[in-house]
């Protein structure tokens, strides 16, 4: 039975979420303070965190940053203000797996919780801590990347994209698959966010590391010597 940590300082919202999750069979714990939420998240007792941004003592961005810096790959769904695009982008770039704008429908939050838990069970957290393809290496515990032994600076989104590519090296992945696994929410069909981030990785890994398969998507190869 999955255990979910709710870090939210508005009692009305945290109670609403906890009640709904318990009704669906989840075990929940609720804290209203950022520092306490971080302590709870790092205990290893939880399977997912629902994290608000505006928290006392330590905001959600700081909690998320320290979680990832500590090597935690616990799935995190961030709660953001509906009109705060900046908060949403910052949370995703900081390592959040998904987001929900306030106000939200519980059914949608529940669907995202189920998706993130399912993906976590299929994720590399149960595999080796390292993924290596050719000269490119990812350390999944420390979230560090290197090419030929030289360390690279990757953003959280770039690292996630590289991870899904390398775990499926040689296979063609569609833009839709990449959006689902890396960004976790739907973009406008005309969005070029995947293409943009593929370009970022090509510049860092080498132009031949990722091939475009016309009409289908992208395939990860390996950086050439």
pLDDT tops 70 at residue 225 = no
Number of structural domains the chain divides into: 2
Last residue in a domain, options 122, 142, 172: 122
Last residue in a domain, options 122, 146, 161: 122
pLDDT tops 50 at residue 85 = yes
Which whole number is the average pLDDT over 21-41?
95
From the list 61, 112, 89, the residue with the least C-alpha distance to 193 is 89
CATH code, domain carrying 135: 1.10.10.10
106 shares its domain with 153: no
CATH code, domain carrying 57: 3.40.50.2300
Give 162-212 pLDDT, tens digit per residue.
988 988 888 888 887 787 777 765 555 556 888 999 999 999 999 899 999
């Amino acid at each position: 039975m999955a255990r979910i940590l709710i870090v939210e300082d508005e009692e009305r919202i945290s109670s609403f979420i906890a009640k709904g999750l318990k009704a669906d069979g989840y075990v929940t714990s609720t804290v209203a303070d950022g520092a306490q939420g971080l302590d709870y998240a790092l205990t290893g007792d939880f399977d997912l965190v629902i994290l608000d941004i505006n928290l006392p003592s330590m905001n959600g961005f700081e909690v998320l940053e320290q979680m990832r810096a500590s090597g935690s790959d616990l799935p995190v769904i961030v709660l953001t203000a509906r009109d705060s695009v900046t908060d949403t982008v910052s949370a995703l770039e900081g390592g959040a797996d998904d987001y929900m704008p306030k106000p939200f429908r519980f059914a949608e939050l529940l669907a995202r919780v189920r998706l993130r838990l399912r993906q976590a069970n299929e994720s590399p957290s149960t595999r080796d801590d390292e993924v290596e393809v050719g000269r490119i290496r990812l350390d999944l515990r420390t979230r560090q990347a290197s090419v030929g032994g030289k360390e690279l600076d990757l953003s959280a989104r770039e690292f996630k994209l590289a991870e899904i590519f390398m775990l499926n090296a040689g296979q063609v992945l569609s833009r839709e698959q990449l959006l689902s696994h890396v960004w976790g929410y739907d973009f406008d069909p005309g969005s070029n966010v995947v293409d943009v981030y593929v370009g970022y990785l090509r510049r860092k890994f080498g132009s031949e590391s990722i091939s475009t398969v016309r009409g289908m998507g992208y395939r990860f190869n390996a950086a050439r010597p």
